[in-house]
Each structure stands twice: as structure tokens, then as C-alpha cells.
Amino acid sequence: MKPIALTTLTLLFAASCSPSNDAENPGKSGSQAGDEKPAVEAPAKIPSGNVDLATAKQLFDDAKAGKSKLVILDVRTDEEFKDGHLEGAVNIDYLVPEADFRTALEKLDREARYLMHCQVGGRSADALEIMTEMGFKSVYHMIDGYGKWARAGYEVTKD
């Protein structure tokens, strides 16, 4: 039993001494001293992918205040969009034939940051997969959708 405990302790010690690549040490990936690159922090420090309503609101508010750049991408139908949407949103209907949806996405900047949503989260989840496959780097998917945003009393517009 002692050799197993000694081996376990040795492995734990070795792991704790190795460089990490976690959120507390961005830019550190086990490189040698002298060849480290400076850490680059992402705006709002929120990883791409699914975000809840509170996080979506934070991203929206930061962009509105000029703290970061963000494109609001609404993938609902034109009719849904006309009934109300987030201020400044771009509407690309996910329910058009997939080839047309992809063609519309081709016109967008793959390096920009996007906050994407549909009504309840289903279409935008599928659109997130397509955008990821197409090489978009920073897409935040509002999993709760526009409906929950509006019910929460957050700012919406009709224009």
C-alpha cells in the first residue's frame, strides 16, 4: 500500500508544479522562460457558446455602453423580428433553406463577436453549430431566447 501512496503523492506533486493553461493563467501554455507571449484577455471574459439570460444582458449592456463590440444576430423569421427585437439586431431567418442561411452567414465577419438568439433557443442552437462549422470565432448563444428576454422586461424595439 505504501508504494501506491508514494506514487500518488509524487504524481500530485508533479502535476501541481507543472505550468497550467487555465483561466487564471491566460497565455501560459507550458512554454520555456523567455518565449512566453503576453496574455490576451477576451472582452467581457466570457467564453463563446451557450450563455444564460443574465450573461446575454451583460454582453448587450457592455456593447451598448461602448465597452465592447458585439453584433446582435436574430435568427427568427421576419415577422417575429418585426414584432420586436433587441436594439441594433441583424435579422437572418434560420427557417429559409439552409443554403440561403449559409449564404447570408458568408457575408458576416467571422472575427466579430456575436450574440445570437431565436424565440426560445432551438433554432439558434442549430445556427450556432453551423456558425461554428463555418469558422466563426466568437458566438454567444442566448439559450433562453428572445421570449424570455422580453418577459424579463429588458429593452426591445420595433423599427
C-alpha dihedral sign at 130, 135, 141, 146: negative
CA neighbor of 110 nearest in space, from 84, 134, 79, 93: 134
Rounded to the nearest 10 degrees, the angle between the axes of helix 122-133 and helix 98-106 is 60
Reduced to 3 states (helix: H, G, I; strand: E, B; else coil), residue 47 is coil
How many helices (H) and strands (E) are present in the chain, helices listed first?
A: 6, 5
C-alpha dihedral sign at 13, 14, 18, 22: negative
Decide if 118 is catalytic.
yes
Residue 10 is which amino acid? T
Q: Catalytic residue among 118, 127, 142, 143, which?
A: 118
Inter-residue contact 1 to 8 (CB < 8 Å): no
Residues carrying an active site annotation = 118
